[in-house]
Structure 1
Amino acid sequence: MKIGIVGGGPAGLYFALLMKNLDSSHEIRLVEQNPPDATYGWGVVFSHRALSLLGNSDRDCYLDINSDLEIWDRLVIVHKEEPVAIDGSLFSGISRIRLLQILQEHCRRRGVKLQFETRLDDLDIFADCDLIVGADGVNSFVRQR
């Protein structure tokens, strides 16, 4: 299957990885308007449950992400200057740029074609694709088509 993905954020990159894991013969091309080292936002936070799903879906990628995580196992809420500890909640965070770097590397290793600094005016570039995925954010170019 030929798959075209518009958007090189975490969703587009991880979708590409999952599809390659499903069938390594998939031909996947991902197009992103920004350079590979550009990002908007500071970080991504995962719940313990979300991390376990990542681990079940792609163990190698999960291990690389996990090695860069900052982990919080205790949350404290301050209400009227009174701290209240909330135990039993496990959250982990990673900088958005580091997450993108890890996902890009795993995509490259699996043969996903990554094309950066390409702004699309139409979807002609994907004319031969069986599936086009819009992972291009809230103001999605793909969903407007």
Structure 2
Amino acid sequence: MKIACIGGGVAALYFAIAMKRRQPAAAIDIFERDSADRNSGWGIILREPMLEAMRRMDEASHAAILARAVSWDQIEIRHKGEVNLLSNQFGRSTGRHALVEVLRARAVELGCRIHYSSPASAADLAGGYQLLVGSDGIKSGCREQIGAAAPIVRVQSANRFIWLGCDKAFDRMVFDFQQTTHGPVWVHAYPFSADKSTFVVECAQQTFDGFGFGRRALSADLARLEGIFASLLGDASLTSLSDAPHEWRQFEQIRCDALHHEQMVLIGDAAHTAHFSIGSGTRLAVEDAIALADSLHQGGALPEALARYQRQRSEAVDSIQQQALHSMQWFDRIIEHYSLPLAAFSRAFLFRSLGQAA
């Protein structure tokens, strides 16, 4: 089978690996719009169910990923000057750039071809391939093509967030909620290497407007955030992938009622997104990739295989998206919980993805 992946992120790369493991004769081309040296991003969470699925699929890349991962066993909740330290909360993460490097190398080793600086569309590739895998991320053009045949459901967070890095490796996952003159500002931080951490800041629109965030060079916003989180950061500084105000965004949770149409199928963020507060975006991408490869390997006509993939993924994705939606909405309504004492606030926080306070 000749397969083209439109987009060269984690979903596409892992699908290519999984497909070559299942069918070594498959011919797979990956079209990545960016150059080979433009591989950026901060840390990503490595969920244990995902890692186990990766181990079963391909031990070589699994071992290489673990070698570049860091782990923690505590979550720290900071709220109104108090700290609640929760033990037995194991987690892992790695840098997105490190994960992509491992997956690129393994995909090429298995015989896949990666075409860098090669933006592609379904119209460009349809005649030369039997299957087109839409793996072009959250701003997917492939999704819009399939969306003409079936609804796309979008739910936007009321809050603003920005995904940053800092030059300090925390030894645990930290949620720091700071009260300011313009309202609460909070951060979700975790290490992803020996000397760096992901630092995701979020606040309500009213707070965003009150500080004037997004109206100037981003460096000014970073300086203000360093002041707000000084007790957590110490001497560490915050960094962004650019100095553009548009780095501040509102998260949009997306679900496609159809994951395939004709010879096109969607995986990863092109197919569905889940709010970053539950750390499952990479898990969805990898599990999509494995499910698609397995479904194709089971045989039958292409429409049958793609329909099987959609059936297999629907229930699992719906469950994760429902948890993510509850979590997103909890943060959207954080002012309802903010006056709680630390213990009660921590319980509400920990149970947020279940849609209940305790």
Please name the residue that 1:65 is paired with: 65
Shift of 1:118: 0.8
C-alpha distance in structure 2 between counterparts of 1:99 and 1:58, whole Å: 14
Q: Which runs of structure 2 are paired with 1:35-114 in the superposition (5 Å)?
A: 35-114=35-114
Judging by fraction of residues, say which structure has more helix: 2
Gaps of 5+ in 1: none
SS at match of 1:38: coil
TM-score, normalised via structure 1 length: 0.91
Gaps of 5+ in 2: 146-358
Shift of 1:122: 4.9
C-alpha distance in structure 2 between counterparts of 1:28 and 1:118, whole Å: 15
SS at match of 1:124: helix
Q: Which structure: larger Rg?
A: 2
Shift of 1:88: 2.4
C-alpha distance in structure 2 between counterparts of 1:11 and 1:58, whole Å: 15
Shift of the 57–121 alpha-carbon distance from structure 1 to 2, 3 Å rule, reads: closer
Please name the residue that 1:14 is paired with: 14
C-alpha distance in structure 1 between counterparts of 2:75 and 2:65, whole Å: 22
Q: Deviations over 1:72-108 (max 9, x none)?
A: 1111111222221222222111111111111000001
SS at match of 1:16: helix
SS at match of 2:136: coil
Please name the residue that 1:131 is paired with: 131
SS at match of 2:105: helix
Shift of the 38–101 alpha-carbon distance from structure 1 to 2, 3 Å rule, reads: same
% identical equivalent positions: 28
The one-letter code matched in structure 1 to 2:108 is: R
**Contact 1:38–1:97 (Cα < 8 Å) also in 2:** no
**Contact 1:33–1:119 (Cα < 8 Å) also in 2:** yes
TM-score, normalised via structure 2 length: 0.39
Shift of the 127–89 alpha-carbon distance from structure 1 to 2, 3 Å rule, reads: farther
Shift of 1:40: 4.4
The one-letter code matched in structure 2 to 1:63 is: A
Per chain length, whose mean CA-contact separation is higher, i.e. which structure has more relative contact order (CA < 8 Å, sep 6+)? 1
C-alpha distance in structure 2 between counterparts of 1:137 and 1:40, whole Å: 14
